[in-house]
Structure 1
Amino acid sequence: MAVLIQVLPVVVAVAIVIRLLLSGRRPKNLPPGPPTLPIIGNLHLMPKRDAHLQFEKWAREYGPVYSLILGTKTLIVLSSDKAVKDLLDKKSNMYSHRQEMYIGQTLCSGNLRILMMGYDARWRMCRKLVHSLLNISAAKSYVPYQMLENKQMLYEMITQPERCMYNIRRYTNSLTTTMVFGWRSTTYDDPKMMQLFEGFSEFAELNQTGLAALVDFFPWMRWLPDFLLPVRAKAKELHRREKALYLGHWLRAKEETKAGTIMRCFSEDLVAIQKTEGFSDDQASYITGTLLEAGSDTTSSTLYAFVQAMLLYPEVQKKAQAIIDEVVGPNRMPTMEDERDLQYIRAIVKESLRWMPTTIMGAVPHAVTQDDWYNGYLIPKDAGVVNNVWAINMDPARHPDPRRFDPDRYKDDLQSLADAAANPDASKRDQFTFGAGRRICPGIHVAERSLFLGVSRMLWAFDITPVLDAQGKPILPDPDRLTQGFVCQPEEFQVKITPRSEARRQMVIEEWLAAEKEWLDPVTKQWRVCPLGPAKKRKE
């Protein structure tokens, strides 16, 4: 017995060493991938920025389905339309889970963020509620909100053209706050709006790189003391600020709903559903906060990419303006009723989503709930599964000369964005920016309308041209310089936005002033009259 007691620690130590040495290796039956090192696997190869370029390079080298070993985690990367269709769409019951994300979900989000929830009953309930706000029939009803916010954006392009990106962000954020909470973001300088964009950017960067990622790849690190794991304190502080913002929005909407003063919006219905479903105010705040994040950031990033494309491809702008002038004419602005006659504008929207995909790496990886086999390779249970959006959108077999902005790729594609995503023929899907399977972005219908109105009306009203340097040469942005994080966009660039004529300038001003007078309170600039009708009567 004494000998056994002496030998046992040695045996345990040897077992731990063997386990560590085996960790980081790629099992033979997994899809191919770059060579690994013991313990860390491929962690040493992960880029600190512009990861999408390396993931695309690996796809060309190792094929449309490859694997990365990241410490104790396995990541399967899908880089073809067929692989995404076969797995994330057709097997969505198995491929809709999430890996555990200690920093992102547990610490940064208090296990409340829908984006990172596992595929369980709570996620399905939240998803069902979100679908009720964003399905196609609901999306059509919000067009009056979109029209007013669009008119203010155009007006601000005249009064403050140097703030192009901020005008666009206010447009998408204000639309989202109206749809979700019933109130408008009247100016970009609203501190709560700025906190939203800055906070989500901090959240994305915190969870994508550095020590935060290592804690997920090596779960034992979460037991380190705080002074060795400073990211823990940063994550908790970010959650404290974010939760305060989201909870404040939700409780305000809840009180206005009870008082009968709220505008028609998602929170109005969520108050009633909360009584039957029994979820907490904290959870309600993150259901609505998730919608606020998604609706504010992704659409604005795509519109900003569109503006950059017009600088770099002026021939596309001229062609689009000629078509708009022929169909719509100079005496009114485009509306949603013009969409079917403006296929080239629809194509510009699709090409903007393909050319500069905001969810460049598919946002957060899916996870598989059981072992699966694909093309002779094992996809093991709990592996993360990446929808490699950039590589698919830039696949020259799908889109020849993929870094060229060419809306004519879609001249015969009459599908809506949602119909294209659901097309059983993977090669007929337009782009992959909205994700796939049961995790596809539920805001796709609203986004398509916001993008069409934004693109068509900016082209109707304005010329988008480069700023000139001291020598009179155009200052053109680099389309490959992107912000980092889950949601990216072009780095901020200079642009000159000028009305195409004095008559169009006057029409933009007059339409905004008329809408402002008809719908908004003259002091607060909040909705005075709801174009969707009065709030529903609630019984306590």
Structure 2
Amino acid sequence: MASSLVYYVAFATTVLIITYRLGKIGCRLAGYPPGPPTLPSHREPPPDAEGEEPLAVPEMGRGVRPRHSLILGTQVMIVLSSDQAIKDLLDKRSAIYSSRPGMYLGNIVSGGFRVLLMEYGETWRAIRGLMHNGLNIKAARAYVPYQDLENKAMLLGFLEDPGSFVNHIKRYTNSLTTQDGLRFPDHEYPRPEGFEKFSEVFRSPAAAILDGFPVLRHLPDFLLPIRRYSKELHKKEYDLFVGHYLDTKKRVMEGTAKPCFCVDLVRAQEKQGFSDGIAGYSSGSLLEAGSDTTAATLVGFVQALLIFPDVVAAAQAEIDRVCGPDRPPDLNDLPDMPYIRGCMKESMRWMPTDILGVPHAVIRDDEYMGYTIPKGRRSHVECLVRRRQTAPTYYPSLPRLCHGAVAHDPNRHPDPSRFDPTRWAHDAQTSAEAAKNTDATQRDHFVFGAGRRLCQGMHIADRSLFLAMARLLWAFDFRRPVDAATGKEMVPDMADLTEGLFVMPRSFRAVITPRSDEKARRVREEWEEVAGLLDEEMQWKMVPEGLVWRDYEPTEV
């Protein structure tokens, strides 16, 4: 009898403890920044007690606090919604804000090798150092010949098949960011698509649920088909990235490799002994980060040209003034084209491709503005710079919601939905200079991240964007198509975006024509001049010599 009583007491106590702990899941603890209700909700949270605007709103351009918290299961997400908060925490306190939280499915797909998701530590610092050495502003000058040729190939694609302009842009960005010497001759050439699938898994509701409720990870694979899919995707990614790296490694050993990041990677592997998996994913990560983001920015730029046709006229007037009727722009023209520089900055503000960012994690408890920011792998610090809502407001998608985008804060950028390059008329900073500016209000955009997670390839991206924007507008006119049924111009919907970690406008039509027969002839001539650098398979057979660019930007950044 006594033993039965002890059994029932123990059972009842266990049930009470489990119930209590389950009841605490999703609760906002004392000291955390305020936020919307922590229970599942389909409605917009009401104004707070002080009468301020809601802390989570679906519309852009409404006031939000510089920091607030979201609770998703066992996760706490501290959302930074102001440039000053980002500067204060991710930049000034980068020593403790540079790690990553545990992202279950993302790490299964990546096998623990993807630099983007690595926790802050010795391995990440080593790879980060290699990327800095290979992509800093001095080293990045070696990539200019590649950028020049791939840009001219893109212009030819626009000329011969303008209806496939999105594919031409993707081919351009993939070729110029492939770090193993491989280029993509045309948009039908097989290209790595693993990152698109990784992106879909990483931002899926299932990923959010498994991160918020880790107990569900104990379910078998037949009840978690997305985990089985993630494992299969990792195998494909590994074979792709490591296979490309090993091919390049062989060319390095044979002395036939062209200048690229992998050359330094092979040498570093010999000294430091890290695995082929880490090396392959490090090389592949550069392709992922550079190609998809730059492509999405350029597609967004083309969309902006159709929605705001006055931009085309203003940009072409500046290009014609600087270059005259015959000469296409080059990098030496950048200082004399403030409007085109403004187009670059405005594109990354108006259509930030990484709308949600990858969350940071603090390595020890911190305090900011009187609120607690807890340490741990399940504490996110999200810098949301998204432009517009693309996900419904239901609980598993809370990490996707917009809670104040710095890029579209009307106090920072009046009329934020308008694409207006003149916002930057007096801002000649490169992306690197702006990111390091001690005045948070003087940073132009946050596409390249912050703190020690700041993108190392921003110098290359800036150049690729300038060459693309300036030369496309030099050579082509961009107009809206006309609906045959209604006779009205078709204006793209700026709110219609793809889903995933990186987003871009969904398919839209554009009428792209050469500005003149002379411009069309010059596009073909420019391509013929550089095509001799390629072999029969349209791969590089030599690197051009004597291509010198003026020091239009500082090399100390």
TM-score normalized by structure 2?
A: 0.89
1:71 is aligned, of 65, 70, 73, to 73
C-alpha separation between the residues in 1 aligned to 2:429 and 2:287? 27
After superposition, the Cα gap between the structure-2 partners of 1:350 and 1:94, relative to the gap in structure 1 and judged at 3 Å, is same
CA contact (8 A) 1:89 1:437 kept: yes
C-alpha separation between the residues in 2 aligned to 1:264 and 1:520? 15
After superposition, the Cα gap between the structure-2 partners of 1:461 and 1:339, relative to the gap in structure 1 and judged at 3 Å, is same
1:140 is displaced (CA, Å) by 1.9
C-alpha separation between the residues in 2 aligned to 1:337 and 1:246? 35
C-alpha separation between the residues in 1 aligned to 2:197 and 2:41? 22
Match of 1:137 in 2: 138
Whether 1:232 and 2:245 are equivalent positions in the alignment is: no
Secondary structure class of the residue paired with 2:208: helix
C-alpha separation between the residues in 2 aligned to 1:436 and 1:283? 23
CA contact (8 A) 1:55 1:388 kept: no
C-alpha separation between the residues in 2 aligned to 1:60 and 1:206? 30
1:223 is displaced (CA, Å) by 0.6
Whether 1:161 and 2:155 are equivalent positions in the alignment is: no
After superposition, the Cα gap between the structure-2 partners of 1:54 and 1:159, relative to the gap in structure 1 and judged at 3 Å, is farther
Match of 1:343 in 2: 338
Whether 1:325 and 2:325 are equivalent positions in the alignment is: no
C-alpha separation between the residues in 1 aligned to 2:201 and 2:43? 19
Whether 1:515 and 2:514 are equivalent positions in the alignment is: no
1:220 is displaced (CA, Å) by 1.1
2:460 is aligned, of 423, 428, 446, to 446
CA contact (8 A) 1:43 1:69 kept: no
Match of 1:102 in 2: 104
1:21 is aligned, of 20, 23, 32, to 23
Secondary structure class of the residue paired with 1:414: coil
CA contact (8 A) 1:183 1:263 kept: no
Which one is further off, 24-33 or 391-400? 24-33
C-alpha separation between the residues in 2 aligned to 1:173 and 1:282? 21
Whether 1:416 and 2:430 are equivalent positions in the alignment is: yes
Amino acid at match of 1:373: E
CA contact (8 A) 1:59 1:65 kept: no
Whether 1:368 and 2:400 are equivalent positions in the alignment is: no
Match of 1:244 in 2: 239
Q: 1:130-529 to 2 correspondence within 5 Å?
A: 130-177=131-178, 180-191=179-190, 193=191, 196-197=192-193, 199-362=194-357, 364-382=358-376, 383-390=379-386, 391-470=405-484, 471-517=486-532, 519-521=533-535, 523-529=536-542
Amino acid at match of 2:305: M
CA contact (8 A) 2:38 2:72 kept: no
C-alpha separation between the residues in 1 aligned to 2:320 and 2:505? 29
Please give the root-mean-square deviation of Cα atoms over the aligned residues, in Å. 1.8
Secondary structure class of the residue paired with 1:299: helix
1:133 is displaced (CA, Å) by 1.7
Which one is further off, 91-100 or 471-480? 471-480
Amino acid at match of 1:496: V
CA contact (8 A) 2:134 2:264 kept: no
CA displacement, residues 63-105 of structure 1 (integer Å, 9 cap, x when unaligned): 1201000000100000100100000111011111111111101
Secondary structure class of the residue paired with 2:293: helix
After superposing on structure 2, the runs of 4+ consecutive aligned residues of structure 1 that deviate more than 6 Å are 43-46
CA contact (8 A) 2:33 2:68 kept: yes
Which one is further off, 442-451 or 206-215? 206-215
After superposition, the Cα gap between the structure-2 partners of 1:312 and 1:323, relative to the gap in structure 1 and judged at 3 Å, is same
C-alpha separation between the residues in 2 aligned to 1:338 and 1:520? 27
C-alpha separation between the residues in 2 aligned to 1:126 and 1:295? 16
1:531 is displaced (CA, Å) by 2.5
After superposition, the Cα gap between the structure-2 partners of 1:58 and 1:93, relative to the gap in structure 1 and judged at 3 Å, is farther
Q: Which has the higher helix share?
A: 1
Amino acid at match of 1:82: Q
1:403 is displaced (CA, Å) by 0.1
Secondary structure class of the residue paired with 2:461: helix
Match of 1:80 in 2: 82
Aligned residues: 513
Amino acid at match of 1:181: D
Percent identity of equivalent pairs: 50
Secondary structure class of the residue paired with 1:35: coil
1:56 is displaced (CA, Å) by 6.2
Stretches of structure 1 lacking an aligned partner (at least 5 in a row): 47-52, 534-540
After superposition, the Cα gap between the structure-2 partners of 1:166 and 1:490, relative to the gap in structure 1 and judged at 3 Å, is same
1:468 is displaced (CA, Å) by 1.6
1:385 is displaced (CA, Å) by 0.3
CA contact (8 A) 2:319 2:470 kept: yes
After superposition, the Cα gap between the structure-2 partners of 1:488 and 1:140, relative to the gap in structure 1 and judged at 3 Å, is same
Amino acid at match of 1:428: Q
CA contact (8 A) 2:109 2:198 kept: yes
Secondary structure class of the residue paired with 1:468: coil
C-alpha separation between the residues in 1 aligned to 2:74 and 2:159? 54
After superposition, the Cα gap between the structure-2 partners of 1:57 and 1:34, relative to the gap in structure 1 and judged at 3 Å, is farther
After superposition, the Cα gap between the structure-2 partners of 1:402 and 1:61, relative to the gap in structure 1 and judged at 3 Å, is closer
After superposition, the Cα gap between the structure-2 partners of 1:55 and 1:386, relative to the gap in structure 1 and judged at 3 Å, is farther
After superposition, the Cα gap between the structure-2 partners of 1:337 and 1:468, relative to the gap in structure 1 and judged at 3 Å, is same
C-alpha separation between the residues in 1 aligned to 2:59 and 2:298? 27
Match of 1:49 in 2: none
Amino acid at match of 2:521: Q
1:343 is displaced (CA, Å) by 0.8
Secondary structure class of the residue paired with 2:381: strand
Secondary structure class of the residue paired with 1:320: helix
TM-score normalized by structure 1?
A: 0.92
Secondary structure class of the residue paired with 2:79: strand
C-alpha separation between the residues in 2 aligned to 1:532 and 1:127? 30
C-alpha separation between the residues in 2 aligned to 1:123 and 1:45? 41
CA contact (8 A) 1:114 1:123 kept: yes
After superposition, the Cα gap between the structure-2 partners of 1:466 and 1:61, relative to the gap in structure 1 and judged at 3 Å, is closer
Stretches of structure 2 lacking an aligned partner (at least 5 in a row): 45-54, 387-404, 547-557
C-alpha separation between the residues in 2 aligned to 1:330 and 1:201? 40
C-alpha separation between the residues in 1 aligned to 2:242 and 2:263? 15
After superposition, the Cα gap between the structure-2 partners of 1:239 and 1:341, relative to the gap in structure 1 and judged at 3 Å, is same
Match of 2:554 in 1: none
Match of 2:50 in 1: none
CA displacement, residues 497-519 of structure 1 (integer Å, 9 cap, x when unaligned): 111011111000011011102x1
Secondary structure class of the residue paired with 1:507: helix
1:472 is displaced (CA, Å) by 3.4
